[in-house]
Structure 1
Amino acid sequence: MPDRIAAHYERHAHAFDEARRKRFVERGWLDRLLLAVPAGGRILDLGCGAAEPIGRYLIDKGLRVTGVDQSETMIALSRTRFPRHDWIRADMRSFVPAYRYDAVLAWDSMFHLRHEEQAALVTQVAAWLAPGGAFLFNSGPARGVAIGCQFGEEIYHASLAPLEYRAIFEELGLLELGFAPDDAATGGRSVWLVRKEH
């Protein structure tokens, strides 16, 4: 099921983009993330979609954005909207960055990966972050798999347990800045914010 996620978003790219531009529930968390980012800093957005509303918000803040997404249509929309930034069609699991980043986010994206793939991606992100850089992502509130429905199709979500994420953070030198399980302000998402200490 996770390997069908890319095809799902490509099929529904325009419908997703239209719906996505109408809601911006993550703004408060983005503002917290940006506290760790210097002026003009570099941000990596994993699962960037068509760069609305997150990409636009970050660009309007004067930041340099690299977006990664598997949907060719959504990457093309991002390039059309913000041609001065970097939009890369790639799988976040195999992406090779050209820079170290001041912040990385995986909003509504990393939770489409299997448990072991999420653990591996957190490890990769820690290596991609500059010292003091921050990582913002979503999970579920507990370990498990959930099959949701989007555009009339089943869509896979998975989560490690909070203790499992925290064990990975400790091993990698990531300091937990915030965790909100079932955060009502974001429509019930569980949200993590961590920072690389060194």
Structure 2
Amino acid sequence: MSKAADSVIDLYQTHAAAWLTLRATALMERPWLERFLASLPSGPPGERAVLDLGCGTGQPIAGYLIENGCHITGVDGAAAMTDIARARFPAQRWITADMRDLPPLGRFHGLVAWHSFFHLTPEDQRPLFETFSRLALPGAALLFTSGTEQGEAIGTFEGQPLYHGSLDSAEYRQRLEKNGFEVICHVENDASCGGATIWLARKAAGVV
């Protein structure tokens, strides 16, 4: 398991072109992205700063948010992914970095970790909730996907093992609340979104 967990970034770096071809762009995530947009603090279009952690190539998630008035800072550990995103959306900010070791980024009106956060081990996921809080402005929205119970699993991508880790739902909720987030909506195994387990939360307006 540890070897697979350590190889996730290298796997996406090696197979970025395949990922670009395989990644569905029909945007079944649209209802959740619309909820996320509706949960962002109000502000002029184009001035709502959103951090996309594990942004991949920027499509379709970041692309949809850009179309709807967000300025994106996208972070991905695979330079091949951020290179594609930068070529496609040159007006946005794209950074190659591991989400566990981020450079100074500022603070954001919204944070997204869609099908990326769950590639970290449970041990690595836990401290990220403090990072989310540090990066989130008061009232910021947070959207991420997870598993439903604590454990590890191995999928496949291009014939290679692809690691997934999860906490259980009660711990996710507790860590969100401890770091100043209230859960707005949580659906396990959402059949309308490919079976994803999804969290939408908001940082309390009075929490700095």
Give the shorter-chain TM-score range.
Answer: over 0.9
CA distance in 1, matches of 2:165, 2:81: 23
Aligned to 2:20: 17
* Normalised TM-score (structure 1): 0.96
CA distance in 2, matches of 1:58, 1:170: 26
How many residues of Structure 1 are paired with residues of Structure 2 in the alignment? Answer: 198
- Structure 1 unmatched runs, 5+: none
Please tell me whether the aligned partners of residues 46 and 104 of structure 1 are also in contact (alpha carbons under 8 angstroms): yes
Q: Which of 162, 169, 179 is equivalent to 1:172?
A: 179
Please tell me whether the aligned partners of residues 105 and 137 of structure 1 are also in contact (alpha carbons under 8 angstroms): yes
Moved more, 160-169 or 32-41: 32-41
Please tell me whether the aligned partners of residues 149 and 155 of structure 1 are also in contact (alpha carbons under 8 angstroms): yes
Q: Does 1:131 align with 2:138?
A: yes
Whichever residue aligns with residue 119 of structure 2, its letter is H
SS of corresponding position for 1:35: helix
Aligned to 1:183: 190
Q: CA deviation at 1:23?
A: 3.8
Q: Does 1:159 align with 2:166?
A: yes
Q: Deviations over 1:121-173 (max 9, x none)?
A: 12101111000001111111111111111221111101101111111122112
CA distance in 2, matches of 1:22, 1:104: 20
Q: Does 1:27 align with 2:34?
A: no
Aligned to 2:7: 4
Q: Deviations over 1:89-135 (max 9, x none)?
A: 00011113432100000000000101121111121011110000011
SS of corresponding position for 1:30: helix
CA distance in 1, matches of 2:110, 2:104: 13
Q: Does 1:110 align with 2:117?
A: yes
Moved over 6 A (4+): none
Whichever residue aligns with residue 8 of structure 2, its letter is I
CA distance in 2, matches of 1:71, 1:139: 21
Q: Deviations over 1:7-43 (max 9, x none)?
A: 0001110110122153422111111111122333000
The within-5 A match list for 1:88-99 is 88-99=95-106
Please tell me whether the aligned partners of residues 25 and 59 of structure 2 are also in contact (alpha carbons under 8 angstroms): no
SS of corresponding position for 2:62: helix
Identity within the alignment, %: 40
Q: Which of 139, 150, 158 is equivalent to 1:143?
A: 150
SS of corresponding position for 1:17: helix
Aligned to 1:80: 87
SS of corresponding position for 2:57: coil
Aligned Cα root-mean-square deviation (Å): 1.1
